[in-house]
Chains A and B, each alone.
Chain A
Amino acid sequence: MAEANVEPSIDEVWRWLEDVPDPEIPVVSVVDLGIVRDAAWERDELVVTVTPTYSGCPATAVISFEIEESLRRKGVEKIRIKTQLSPAWTTDWITGEAREKLRQYGIAPPVGEASCAGALKASGPVACPHCGSENTSEVSRFGSTPCKASWRCNDCLEPFDYFKSF
């Protein structure tokens, strides 16, 4: 097995990473969320650069573990996960496709651009992911995970999570 040790291309590595789900929101991948910043070969070692979402997010360690596991299953032997803090992760990096997946999953995707804001309150109105109504209100700025807030739809009366613009 060692003799046919052909390094997979970086494009292929990205395709594999696109299949690694976020541990908290499994409908989106760690690539969709913008958590994986880079993948590159350094000699025979594959270095994957990740950025934490919230510095206290308990999923961060699990994400690194799952990236490593999935690459190992594909046959990559030497893997290093590098953490990068700057530029700081922002919801602006969440792909359009992933926003739609979040909405279908029942989570309102982030509204507006976070990076140019600073004014966090300006993020809204948030459309209800169930009925589409914009007649919604914030229940709490913090939700089931650090990245989400709790909202409620005033029309269909369903509570829902909002992926905060950050």
Chain B
Amino acid sequence: MSTDVQTDTALFELALRMGDNTLILGQQVSAWCGHAPILEEDIALANTALDLIGQTKLWLALAGEIEGKGRSADDLAFLRDARAFRNVLLVEQPNGDFGQTLMRQYLFDAWHLPMLTALKNSIETRVADIAEKSAKEAAYHLERSEDLIIRLGDGSDESHTRMQNALDALWPFAGELTQPDAIDDELAQRGLAPDLADIKTRHEERMRAALKEATLQVPEAAIRKGGKQGMHSEGLGYLLSDMQWLQRAYPGAEW
């Protein structure tokens, strides 16, 4: 029985939130493998997905360790139901066209880098170590996705229209990344994670500057949220059934 295990709930949630974001985004981006518009983009997307899945393994392994109930990173990835996932709604939005995939990546990367950079100062060294490792990769992702949204936004009529459509569809989901709840407040107070208000400022400044350069109009929209608390959109269920079916059908299957 594991009733005597005292899980640090806030810390557990932090590791799940970080790991579920990279897991779901990594799973989505990997679907482009073999389908991207040109070979170089195909490779770039696959490599990005690979980094994200690698980071997921670190975060979810830590989550399992913190929880103390013997669950591995794989158990957490493949054997939880949608309601137990803590990723933001942004990352579960459909791939759509290439523009939508890129815009989703950009809105995420622009948050991911400052978040990881700040997490390097976490008083929990296991969190700080993963953040240090991941931040370097996130910097690469951001550099690329920002370049591309500017080039495509400020590109042809067709590419501009597609990027604007992508922004209109995805902007409402960007705010959830920096909207604190009681867990975020506790994490910040204990020095485990940064104050999300600071991250929000950096996230917004970076996004608005790049989107302006991309000649894109930032829409007025209310924040769509709930993912961090486990309230997901319908799409996550389909995504999970695709991702988890093998472990569900053949429990314990290994390569």
Contact = CB atoms under 8 A, between A and B. Distances in A.
A142 B53 contact: no
Contacts of B129: 85-86
Interface string B99-142: 00000000000000000000000000100111011101101100
A55 B137 contact: yes
Contacts of A25: none
A142 B128 contact: no
Enumerate the 10 nearest inter-chain pairs by beta-carbon distance, A residue then B residue, closest first.
Answer: A56-B54, A55-B54, A140-B40, A56-B50, A142-B44, A86-B129, A85-B129, A142-B47, A56-B51, A88-B133
A76 B50 CA distance: 33
Interface in A112-166: 118, 120-121, 139-144, 146, 150, 164, 166
B140 A120 contact: yes
Interface of A: 52, 54-58, 85-90, 118, 120-121, 139-144, 146, 150, 164, 166
Interface of B: 40-41, 43-44, 47-55, 57-58, 125, 128-130, 132-134, 136-137, 139-140, 143-144
Contacts of B53: 56
A88 B132 contact: yes
A166 B52 contact: no
Contacts of A142: 40, 43-44, 47-48, 144
B74 to A, nearest CB: 14
Nearest to B59: A55
B54 A86 contact: no
B57 A55 contact: yes
Nearest to B57: A55
A55 B144 contact: no
Given A57-B50, A86-B128, 15 more contacts: A52-B133, A55-B133, A56-B49, A58-B50, A85-B129, A85-B130, A85-B133, A86-B132, A86-B133, A87-B132, A120-B140, A121-B143, A142-B40, A143-B43, A150-B43
B54 A57 contact: yes
Given A120-B140, A141-B143, A141-B144, A55 B40 contact: no
